[in-house]
Every structure is written in structure tokens, then in C-alpha cells.
Chain A
Amino acid sequence: MGISLMYYLLVSGGLFALGLLGVLIRRNPLLLLLSVELMLNGANVALIGFSRHWNSTDGQVFALVVMVVAAAEVVIGLGLIVAVFRQRIALDVDGMDHLKG
């Protein structure tokens, strides 16, 4: 009576899909970053599931590296948001199109 790989992949797919939906819908860049974190967590769940399936540590190492990269990305993302905010621009990703050709 155990868990199989399929369940892990289902949860991972669900988290990734919800994160994808959040990235597509959200206008507030903070909420967008939260959705990106959801996608990264979905990927981590899949990695850990596979690592358990093949009985290998490599998947977990990969998941830890993903966590580190997520932390670094959040730091820079939030720094950018704060910098944009300080320039008195409204926090709306659809409105930040000044570089549009």
C-alpha cells in the first residue's frame, strides 16, 4: 500500500499548471514572482519523485540546486521591483512597455 511515481507527477503537473496560470494572469509583479515560485516547486516535486523512483541521490541534489537558484532569482526580482517602485512607476507589468520597439 504505497505511493507510486504517478501521484508525484500528478501533483507536480498540477502545481506547474497553476503556476503557469498565475504567471499568465497576474499583473502585479509581486504576485507574478509568487507564481514563478509555484512553478519551481512543481519542478522540485517531480525531481524528488524521480529520485525516489530510481533510488538515487542525484535528483535531490538537483532539487537543492533549484532551490538555491530560486532564492537568487527572488532576491534579484524583488530588488528590481523595489527599484521600479522607487521611480514612481505603477506596479503593473503590462504597463512597463517603455522598451517596446
Chain B
Amino acid sequence: MGERIAFAIAAAGALGCAAGVVTLSNPFRAAVSLIGTLLSVAVLFLLAAAPFAAAIQVIVYAGAIVVLFLFVIAYLGERPPRIGPDPMGRWAFLMATGVGVLVALGLIGLLRSHLPGMRAAFAEAGDIGSPRAIGMAFVDTHSLVFEATSLVLLIAALGAVLLARRAVLGERGR
């Protein structure tokens, strides 16, 4: 019972803050709303026997990625992209309708599915989310993925340094 209440609060928080991210016009407030979504999703992870993933979600997403966003938003300022009437209204309405249709189709498909285990409460979880289990999975079964992700991070760091350097050169060259 307590689990259901916690899930309901976390799900409402996640979807509500996501709606905030999509609709708020001030980039700073949208980023703060994203923090709310990320924390709610971390609670959802905790309810699904994934404490390590929840901690990493908060540390990496809410604690580092959004901080990076906030830095860039503070740096770039908040002037609106264009001055004048916003021709977006009709486009936004069309897109909202389109996505709404997709969501409706998805809902119908989901609620009518007869796949086994969809509606049953989760069975008792084994030791799937503890650091030991995840560590063993990374080192034992999925070691290739582990190495690949470290390579991805290295390339991203190099790319960021390169982008920053090239921008500075571009400025001096002009």
C-alpha cells in the first residue's frame, strides 16, 4: 500500500515536472523543472529494486548534467530567440495533436494487452540492484559494453575540449 502511494506521488511528480519542462518559456525554470523530473524518476528506480541506478541517476543526471545546463543557460543569458509575433502557435497545436494521437494509440495498445505478467504485481525481487550485482554484471557478462562506454566518455571529453578550442580560435581569427 505504501509502495503504491509512493509510486503515485513519484509518477505524478515526474509527469508534472515533464510538462513543466515542455511548456515553461524561461530556460532556467525549465531546467529546474527537469531536476524535479529526475528526482521523481530516481524514486521510481528505488521502488523497482534499483538503488544503485537511483543513486547514479541523482549523481550524474541531477548533480552534473543539469548543473552543466544551468552554467550554459546562465552564460548565454535568456534573451528570447526572436522578437516579433511567434508563428509557433499553430505548429505547436498540430504537434500536440499528433503526439496526442500517438499517446492514445499507445494507451489503447497497452491497456488491451494480454501479455503475461503485465498487470500482476511484481514478484519478490532477487539481488538485482545492489552494487555487487551490477558490478559483477559489468565485469563478467557485459565487459565489452563497459569498455565501450569508457571510450564514449573519453571521446566526448576530447570533443568538448576541441569545440571550446576551435571556438576561441574562430573568435581571434575574425
Residues of A at under 8 Å CB distance from B?
1-11, 13-15, 17-22, 24-28, 30-31, 33-35, 37-38, 41, 44-45, 48-49, 51-53, 55-58, 60-61, 63-65, 67-76, 78-83, 85-87, 90-92, 95
Contact of B21 among A18, A44, A78, A90 (CB under 8 A): A18
Cβ contacts under 8 Å, A74 to chain B: 65, 68-69
How many residues on B have C-beta within 8 angstroms of the other chain's C-beta atoms?
86
Q: How far is the CB of A44 from chain B (nearest CB, A)?
A: 7
Q: How far is the CB of B146 from chain A (nearest CB, A)?
A: 9
Known A-B contacts A57-B137, A72-B155; A82 and B72 likewise in contact (beta carbons under 8 Å): yes
Which of A14, A57, A81 has the most B CB atoms < 10 Å from its CB? A57
Known A-B contacts A52-B122, A55-B123, A60-B53; A21 and B96 likewise in contact (beta carbons under 8 Å): yes
Cβ contacts under 8 Å, A90 to chain B: 81-82
User: What 1/0 flags go to B134-165 for Cβ under 8 Å of A?
Assistant: 10111001100100010011011101100110
Cβ contacts under 8 Å, A13 to chain B: 103, 106-107, 110
B121–A25 CB distance below 8 A: no
Which of B15, B99, B155 has the most A CB atoms < 10 Å from its CB? B99
Give bound CA distance, A63 to B145, whole Å: 12
Known A-B contacts A60-B50, A67-B61; A34 and B30 likewise in contact (beta carbons under 8 Å): yes
User: What 1/0 flags go to B30-50 for Cβ under 8 Å of A?
Assistant: 110010011001001101111
Which 5 pairs, one residue from A and one from B, show the smallest C-beta to C-beta distance?
A: A2-B121, A72-B156, A79-B163, A22-B22, A92-B81
B64–A27 CB distance below 8 A: no
B15–A82 CB distance below 8 A: no
Known A-B contacts A8-B44, A83-B166; A60 and B81 likewise in contact (beta carbons under 8 Å): no
B164–A52 CB distance below 8 A: no
Contact of A87 among B7, B52, B122, B170 (CB under 8 A): B170
Cβ contacts under 8 Å, A7 to chain B: 7, 11
A22–B21 CB distance below 8 A: yes
A–B pairs, 18, beta carbons within 8 Å: A1-B121, A2-B3, A3-B122, A5-B117, A7-B11, A10-B110, A14-B103, A24-B95, A25-B95, A30-B72, A34-B30, A37-B34, A55-B125, A61-B138, A63-B50, A67-B60, A74-B69, A90-B81
